[in-house]
Amino acid sequence: MNSNTQQQCDVLVVGSGAAGLSLALRIANKAKVIVLSKSLSREGATFYAQGGIAAVFDESDTIESHVDDTLIAGAGLCEKDKVQFIAENARECVQWLIDGGVPFDQEETDEESDEPRYHLTREGGHSHRRILHAADATGMAMQTSLQENVLNHPNITVLERHNAVDLITEDKIKEGGNAKKIVGAYIWNRDSEHVETVAAKFVVLATGGASKVYQYTSNPDVSSGDGIAMAWRAGCRVANLEFNQFHPTCLYHPEARNFLLTEALRGEGAYLRRPDGTRFMPDFDEREELAPRDIVARAIDFEMKRLGADCMYLDITHKSPEFIMKHFPTIYMRLQDLGLDMTKEQIPIVPAAHYTCGGVMVNTKGETDVERLYAIGEVSYTGLHGANRMASNSLLECVVYAWAAAKSIMQEIDAADMPGELPNWMKARYVTQMKR
């Protein structure tokens, strides 16, 4: 099980989704980077994200409106200064994605212009159309673009099928060492079945959330909360882990338990209906189907329990088949494969665990309580989400905090020393047990 294999790098990024890959690209021109992926590098929550990424691109929209919408969705438990920080930097970070090749949908227009006009959709909790998207597979488009750029960068090494087992702090390598300073991590190589050691000047946790602890979830198997647990063991504070968001509309089907039906469907006019065909959201909230996710999910759950029904239904059949197939091609094809025609039939849906609103506490640089350890993306608690996350703010949080953390690391990397030889996994466990 054990191996003395040791690698070293300037920055070890644990996780290969939008947050981890964005940070790796931001720093790779000046640093040697290793990116770890528990499975295939695409296999994370980012790849399965459908809806989009929120940013103020419409002239009628404002940053203040984005902030206010987020605060309302978070039930008053967001940290306003952090929400402001993310909203203010949203457009610049989304533009970075565009410059990197992410193909967000554009408006069809006869006007000649050097500036593209992006198609903006609206989702629950948003008062304006501010969601940039790539049809109904935004996460796939982002992951594909970021991954291609990462794999083509000479300073980035991607290790697939490598799990981070635990973080290494300085007290584990020398007497009197700083227990609040990171020096590397132990890595489980799933192919060789050995625990390897990576020494690093900085470690960045970008491991995603923990929704796979629930039986019904929209998340892939890798969303098991590893990063939160490792950070806690290393001495980091965590916050708001009681707030796990349930997405209102996951497909109710025995062959596709974790297939998400994007909120953009409701943003483009889809209705929620009882089994008898009547709408119910007007009975729960004045925003109806465009209420925030927590309200919609509770309404669906309430109606299912009240009626003793297995599911509720999502209905977009009043839109033309051409409209549906243009805006939701991925969903349309997946449902076709399962024998459902969303242009003619209502879609059976149930709520499912979707997003971990809490996580490892960080500042606006992505820094944790442990020196040289950063956390970005869903693994972190930034103060953006409060008790509930507003739709399409999660991918935004990933890229904004990747930018902020990369900037912080670049300011410190030249002064940071590379750790020396680190103890192997078995020796480190023995020393830890002896200290107890």
Task: Give the CATH number, domain containing residue 178.
Answer: 3.50.50.60
Q: Are 197 and 428 in contact (CB under 8 A)?
A: no
Asked whether residue 271 is domain-assigned, the answer is yes
Whether the CB-CB separation of 13 and 206 falls below 8 Å is answered with yes
- pLDDT at residue number 429: 60
Q: Is 287 a catalytic residue?
A: no
**What is the number of domains present in the chain?**
2
| Measured distance CA(192)–CA(370) in Å, rounded | 31
Structure tokens at 200: 């690093």
**Residue-level pLDDT at 308:** 98
Mark whether 207 and 340 lie in a shared domain. no
Helix (H) or strand (E) holding 14: strand 2-14
Same domain for 339 and 367, yes or no, is no
Pair 122, 35 in one domain: yes
Contact 195, 187 (CB under 8 A): yes
The two three-digit tokens of residue 230, written as one number = 């490792």
- The whole-number average pLDDT for the span 405-416 is 97
pTM of the model: 0.89
Closest CA to 320 of 281, 272, 269: 269
φ/ψ (deg, to 5) at 250:
-105, 145
319 phi and psi angles, rounded to 5 deg: -90, 155
Does residue 180 carry a pLDDT above 60?
yes
- pLDDT tens by residue, 331-351: 999 999 999 999 999 999 999
Residue 113 in this model has a pLDDT that exceeds 70: no
- The answer to whether residue 432 sits within a structural domain is no
Asked if residue 374 has pLDDT above 70, the reply is yes
Helices 80-99 and 394-412, axial angle in degrees (round to 10)? 90
Same domain, 160 and 58: yes
91, part of any domain = yes
pLDDT at 3 (0 to 100): 56
Q: Is residue 433 in some structural domain?
A: no
Length of the chain, in residues:
436
Domain that holds residue 373: 2-243+357-427
Tokens at residue 39, please?
Answer: 């499975």
pLDDT in tens, 213-243: 887 888 888 899 999 999 999 999 999 999 9
In a domain, 59, yes or no: yes
Contact of 14 with 185, CB cutoff 8 Å: yes
* Active-site residue, selected from the candidate residues 122, 293, 334, 389: 293
